Structure 1
C-alpha cells in the first residue's frame, strides 16, 4: 500500500494531486511548522503578463504549526477583504475559460465562508478539488494520529501505523529524508512531468494553481 503526504497548501498545483492520485492513503501534514516562504498561504494563477501571486493574509506569532495559523479577515488599508479580492482576480482572469461556470459557484462558496484558520481554508479547497478531479483517495490528518516524533522518523511512524509498505515522497525528499529510519518501508520519489494544456492567455505557464487546469480543461490534463 502506497502512502504519500503533504502540507495543506493554498490552491495546490497539479503536482500535489498527481502525488495523491498515485497513492492509496494521503497524509495531510497539518501540524508541521508553518513556513511563510512555502505555498501554505499563497499560490500563483495565470494572468496576461504571465502569472500572479494570490496570498492569504495571516495573523502569525512565533513558530507555530499550520493548523494554528489564523487568517486576517479584516480590511487592510481600506482595501476589500482578501477573499473578495481573490475571487475578483480569479473572475477577471478565468471568466472566459471553457469550464469556469461549471466550478466557480461552488468555489465561491468556500471563499465566502470566512474561515478563521488557514488550514481549514486550504483543506476545504483541497477536498473540493479532489471531488472536482474525481480522485479516489483516503485522507488522514497527522494532527489526529498522536505521534510526537519528528522529521523522517515521524513520517515513517505514520506510514507504519497506516499499514503502508511504500512511502511516495516528493522529489525534494532526496535532500532531507533519512531513509535509514524507514527500514521495511520502500521509499519512492515522485516523478512529476507537468502536462501541457491550452490556457486562456498566449503561451504556457506551468506550476500554476490547479484551478488553472480545472477552469481551462475541466480535469487533470494527461
Structure 2
C-alpha cells in the first residue's frame, strides 16, 4: 500500500499530479499552519505568452490559522474574474472546448474552506484525467496533530497500513530512510522529469505552470503519459 502526504494545492503543477497518480492513498495535510504566499491558493498560467500568477482570495488568511480553518472570500466576483482570465488566455488553445467546462465546475463549486474547496476540485480533475487515487484530509481522520514532522508522517503511514511512502524530492533533507525502514516502510522520493509540449503564444517554453496549461495544450492520453515522467530515488 503506497501513501503520499501533501498540503492541498489548487490546480497544481504536473509533479503534484504525478505523485497523486502513483500512490494508492493521497493524504491532504490540511490541519497544519497556512503558508502565506505559498501554493495553496495560488498558481501560474500562461497569459500573453508570459507566466501570470493568479490568487484565490481568502477570508482572514493567516499563518496562525490552519489550512482547514480558512474560508474563501465571500465576494463572488473573483470566480468570474479568474474564469475570464482563463478564457481570454486559452480560448485559442487546442483543447479549450473540452477543458474549460471542467475548470468552470472546479472554480464555481462551493466549499466551507480552502482545503475542502481544493479537495472537491480534485474530485472533478481526477475524474477527467482517470486518476483513481483515494484522498483523505488529515483534519478528519487521524487524531494525531500533537505529533510533529516525521513522527506524524510515520503515524499516518501506520494508521493507513502503508508499506511504502513517497515524498517529493524536496523533502530529502526532512526524512530518514532508516527510520522509516525500522517501521517496515520503504521511503522513496519523486523527482519529476521536465515535461515539454507545444505552448501556444510563448516565445520559449515556460515549465512547471499550473496543470491548467497542460490541460489546454494536450489531450488526456498525452497527459497520462506525462504522469509517468518521473523517477523514484
- TM over 0.5, yes or no? yes
Say which SS state the counterpart of residue 46 (structure 1) adopts: strand
Q: 1:214 to 1:49 in 2, by over 3 A?
A: closer
Aligned to 1:7: 7
* Structure 1 match to 2:128: 132
Give the match for residue 56 of structure 1.
Answer: 56
| Matching residue of 1:168 | 166
Cα distance, 1:180 vs structure 2 = 5.4
Matched, 1:153 2:151: yes
- 1:4, 1:167 within 8 Å by CA — same for their partners in 2? yes
Q: How many residues align?
A: 217
Give 1:124 shift. 2.1
Give matches, 1:45-194, under 5 Å.
45-59=45-59, 60-61=61-62, 63-74=64-75, 81-143=77-139, 144-148=141-145, 149-179=147-177, 181-182=179-180, 183=182, 184-194=184-194
SS of residue paired to 2:191: coil
Deviation at residue 175 of structure 1 after TM alignment: 2.5
Q: Give, in angstroms, the shift of residue 179 of structure 1.
A: 4.4
Gaps of 5+ in 1: 76-80
Indicate the SS of the match to 1:191.
strand
* Whole-angstrom CA distance in 2 between matches of 1:96 and 1:62: 39
1:57–1:82 Cα contact (<8 Å) kept: yes
Give the TM-score of the pair, scaled to structure 2: 0.86
The aligned counterpart of 1:78 is none
Aligned to 1:139, the other structure's residue is in SS state strand
Corresponding residue SS for 2:3: strand
Work out whether residues 45 and 208 of structure 1, in 8 Å CA contact, stay in contact via their aligned partners in 2. yes
> What secondary structure, in the 3-state scheme, does the structure 1 residue paired with 2:216 have?
helix
User: How many Å apart are 1:138 and its aligned residue?
Assistant: 1.7
